[in-house]
Structure 1
Amino acid sequence: MNLIKQDWFSDLKPNFKVLSFKERFLCAVGALLGLAISSWISWSVLGGLNVWYIAPMGASSVLLFAVPSSPLAQPWNVIVGNLLAGLIGVSCAMWIPDLTTAFSLAVGLAIFLMMSTDSLHPPSGAVAITAVLGGKAIHQLGYYFVLYPVLLNSVLLLAFAVCFNRLMGRHYPYPKQINSRSKDPTPTQKVGIQPQDIQRALNEQTELLDISQYDLEKIILEAQELANERRVIHFVCRDIMTKDVITLYQEDDIHQSLDKFKHVNLMSLPVIDAEQQLVGTLALYDVVEWFKRAADPRAPWEFMVKQIMNRKVVTVNPEQPIQDLVPYFVEKSFNYIPVLEKEKLVGIISRADMIAALQQQLINLNIEHSTQ
């Protein structure tokens, strides 16, 4: 296929797993019931108090019911994070007359203290702002605001989240995964990635990741198991070829082809016709030579890719062993070799693909020898 244009709107979207309709529906129902029940109980306990429920609980419900496995959604974070933010917010409201300065400083201090106590909870930032901008009713409560509605709302919503998530078969609070029989790593960890390996990698990160160390380790191990199932000793071209091929059409303007070379930073591209059949290759060297000829008024007029492309192309079929390709990459310094199936271009194999495949074959052979 041709070069895919960058969709700037897609770049703004997160790389986030979309859950099934059932899971999305349950998350929404959990938040609805959790907020309704906890707010009703708060109203019953606090009577006619104007601030019987605060808006940040809506943000907390997103974490508690949609991503309960997040480190930011654990009980310690909900309770301690909201308490710290409430205390700081009330203090700033009482001692700093300028509202903008008060709520800005409150949120900044809340973030610092939550990160220092490992209790980061994003909705707590809204708790700090509420304490400053909540109006006369909240200001009259003073530090009681931290107890009610903040602590009361947090405990009630958290209690319902624990019951609901467990009823749905989810683990919440998320349990620590340790070897209960000894201090050594678990049996799986001994022969694979160990917690200290993950910890060392995480220590290199300068940003906070919204995933627990165990979850990260679990995902990596599961991915490794899937990769092992796919492991083969003898690769064929189909196993390693790139299917999403950047191509030129033979009717393309040469100037347009140059733009594509510049964008993808490749030295050569395959050329196809309207039926997706390979008809040649065009190297950046060919374009440079065309520019040289274009300066000569006696040179024939050429403006399409098919007029300057190389029509002699070495190809392979998908089931061909990759060992057949080695001489072309080693002796003739090919950058890539097209893969054809029923005379149509279905992929290419680059020098980098070959290096990765040969390295994996060496690893697989070493594993076999070590287990014999």
Structure 2
Amino acid sequence: MFHMQFEWLNTLKPNFKVLPLKDRLMCGIGALLGLAISSLISLYVLGDLNAWYIAPMGASSVLLFAVPASPLAQPWNMVVGNTIAGIIGVTCAMYIPNLTEAFSVAVALAIFLMMTTDSLHPPSGAVAITAVLGGESVHQLGYHFIFYPVLLNSILLLVVAIFFNRLLGKQYPQIAQLNTRSKDPTPTQKVTIQPQDIHDVLEHQTELLDISEYDLQKIILEAQEKANARAVSQYLCQDIMTKDVICLQEQEEIQDALIKFKHVNLMSLPVINVEHQLVGTLALYEVVEWFKRAAEPRASWEHLVKQIMDRKVVTVQPIQPIQDLVPYFVERSFNYIPVVENQKLVGIISRADMIAVMQQQLNRVTHPIND
């Protein structure tokens, strides 16, 4: 119950890969070196100038060293985006007396022009604000602010990022061509999802995605290769089962079980004990029947899931072929079958899982891949 109450917090988290500790440390070290080297060179070139370095470079370093594959982190975006933001920011600072109006207009125009020139770079918004709110030392520079410190800082940090990322074996800047021998799709793409398909889908998107078409092509191609390799062999239960199983505890209150049924919108759930062993199943209709006989003496002591659950459960092993499950789904209309290993629940296979496999096999028969 406690878990369910705080489950909504997961909806606030991004679906973002957490890198291993070593990679996270290298991202931090890259930012440290990039900012230190570029700032020292800027200080040497500009001397005692008060605005020798600007804070937006810290935000740029997050993109350049932590997510260099992002379209927003590419050299064009950083140089052109910061230049546009600098020009707009300085102009607004000169001609709009009210500071709030000045930096608001500056950021709004910078976003519009960056999106128009395909140079969107989030830290550039801070560049526009710095041009307005940077104080007297920035205002005295006028349009020189665009060349130094903005462009000077940007190019120096960019150079360090290129060397550092390539030293780690990362391709930066990104090369937007997957097939190095030809502009045509790769052999696998020709018979599955082609780059034009991805482009057509993205054309209908109403919002920007922080991933390039190149990266999408690469991910889809690798996933397709894995799927093809898996399809040549016989499917086992462990290949298609759902491992993150929603289940009930045998000691749960029936009232709490009903809340979970309502939350997940399922008709039946497996029941486990404290050792995660499968001990039964509970169907929603059994809970309804329990409510119907609530006034009966028998129901007065029934308040736990284990007291009304069905202890007779059909299970399968992870290494069983999925053909063994067909009679249960077809002849006996099962909604799901639990997968058990060493008496412990390790997954479930639903009717939808079986339909998905059948569809995949039908596609391979009607549209065979020419290897």
Question: Structure 2-normalised TM-score?
Answer: 0.88
Which residue pairs with 1:290 in the alignment? Answer: 290
User: Secondary structure of 1:54's match?
Assistant: coil
User: Secondary structure of 1:269's match?
Assistant: strand
Which residue pairs with 2:346 in the alignment? Answer: 346
- Identity of matched residues, %: 72
- Aligned-partner residue type, residue 155 of structure 2: V
**How many Å separate the matches in 1 of 2:272 and 2:173?**
57
Instruction: Report if aligned partners of 1:234, 1:361 keep a CA contact under 8 Å in 2.
Output: no
User: Secondary structure of 2:163's match?
Assistant: helix
**How many Å separate the matches in 2 of 1:274 and 1:22?**
36
**Larger deviation: 106-115 or 249-258?**
249-258
* 1:25 to 1:185, Cα distance in 2 relative to 1, 3 A: same
Which residue pairs with 2:32 in the alignment? Answer: 32
User: Secondary structure of 2:231's match?
Assistant: coil
Which residue pairs with 2:44 in the alignment? Answer: 44
Which residue pairs with 1:243 in the alignment? Answer: 243
**How many Å separate the matches in 2 of 1:41 and 1:249?**
63
Residue 255 (1) aligns with residue 258 (2): no
Per-residue Cα deviation, 1:253-273 (whole angstroms, up to 9, x for no partner): 221221221122111122334
**How many Å separate the matches in 1 of 2:139 and 2:108?**
20
Q: Which runs of 5+ in 1 are unaligned?
A: none
Instruction: Report if aligned partners of 2:293, 2:299 keep a CA contact under 8 Å in 1.
Output: yes
* 1:126 to 1:282, Cα distance in 2 relative to 1, 3 A: same
- Aligned-partner residue type, residue 100 of structure 1: T
User: Secondary structure of 1:294's match?
Assistant: coil
Which residue pairs with 1:112 in the alignment? Answer: 112
Higher RCO (CA-CA < 8 Å; seq separation 6+): 1
**How many Å separate the matches in 1 of 2:164 and 2:230?**
39
| 1:349, distance to aligned residue in structure 2 (A) | 2.1
Residue 315 (1) aligns with residue 315 (2): yes
**How many Å separate the matches in 1 of 2:71 and 2:63?**
10
Per-residue Cα deviation, 1:121-150 (whole angstroms, up to 9, x for no partner): 111111100110011111122222112221
User: Secondary structure of 1:347's match?
Assistant: strand
Residue 147 (1) aligns with residue 147 (2): yes
**How many Å separate the matches in 2 of 1:51 and 1:173?**
29
Which residue pairs with 2:125 in the alignment? Answer: 125
Larger radius of gyration: 1
Which residue pairs with 2:268 in the alignment? Answer: 268
Instruction: Report if aligned partners of 1:84, 1:110 keep a CA contact under 8 Å in 2.
Output: yes
| 1:234, distance to aligned residue in structure 2 (A) | 3.1
CA RMSD of aligned residues (A): 2.8
Per-residue Cα deviation, 1:160-217 (whole angstroms, up to 9, x for no partner): 3333333443322222316566553344533443221111121222221122111111
**Larger deviation: 337-346 or 71-80?**
337-346
**Larger deviation: 127-136 or 63-72?**
63-72
Per-residue Cα deviation, 1:219-277 (whole angstroms, up to 9, x for no partner): 11112212222225533333333333333333432212212211221111223344544
* 1:278 to 1:21, Cα distance in 2 relative to 1, 3 A: closer
Q: How does 1:71-110 map to 2 (within 5 A)?
A: 71-110=71-110
| 1:218, distance to aligned residue in structure 2 (A) | 0.5
**How many Å separate the matches in 1 of 2:292 and 2:139?**
79
**Larger deviation: 103-112 or 170-179?**
170-179
Residue 172 (1) aligns with residue 163 (2): no
Instruction: Report if aligned partners of 1:3, 1:246 keep a CA contact under 8 Å in 2.
Output: no
* 1:47 to 1:9, Cα distance in 2 relative to 1, 3 A: same
User: Secondary structure of 1:165's match?
Assistant: helix
* 1:336 to 1:366, Cα distance in 2 relative to 1, 3 A: same
**Larger deviation: 144-153 or 316-325?**
316-325
User: Secondary structure of 1:346's match?
Assistant: strand
**How many Å separate the matches in 1 of 2:276 and 2:325?**
23
**Larger deviation: 82-91 or 175-184?**
175-184
* 1:228 to 1:86, Cα distance in 2 relative to 1, 3 A: same
| 1:42, distance to aligned residue in structure 2 (A) | 2.2
**Larger deviation: 248-257 or 312-321?**
312-321
Instruction: Report if aligned partners of 1:89, 1:131 keep a CA contact under 8 Å in 2.
Output: yes
**How many Å separate the matches in 1 of 2:283 and 2:84?**
63
User: Secondary structure of 2:271's match?
Assistant: strand
* 1:25 to 1:261, Cα distance in 2 relative to 1, 3 A: closer
Instruction: Report if aligned partners of 2:290, 2:299 keep a CA contact under 8 Å in 1.
Output: no
**How many Å separate the matches in 1 of 2:291 and 2:164?**
70
- Aligned-partner residue type, residue 211 of structure 2: I
* 1:181 to 1:140, Cα distance in 2 relative to 1, 3 A: same
Instruction: Report if aligned partners of 1:233, 1:364 keep a CA contact under 8 Å in 2.
Output: no
Question: How many residues matched?
Answer: 370
**How many Å separate the matches in 1 of 2:316 and 2:188?**
41
* 1:22 to 1:336, Cα distance in 2 relative to 1, 3 A: closer
* 1:329 to 1:134, Cα distance in 2 relative to 1, 3 A: same
User: Secondary structure of 1:132's match?
Assistant: helix
Which residue pairs with 1:358 in the alignment? Answer: 358
* 1:8 to 1:302, Cα distance in 2 relative to 1, 3 A: closer
**How many Å separate the matches in 2 of 1:207 and 1:340?**
43
| 1:77, distance to aligned residue in structure 2 (A) | 1.2
| 1:371, distance to aligned residue in structure 2 (A) | 5.2
Which residue pairs with 1:68 in the alignment? Answer: 68
Instruction: Report if aligned partners of 2:237, 2:319 keep a CA contact under 8 Å in 1.
Output: yes
Instruction: Report if aligned partners of 1:102, 1:132 keep a CA contact under 8 Å in 2.
Output: yes
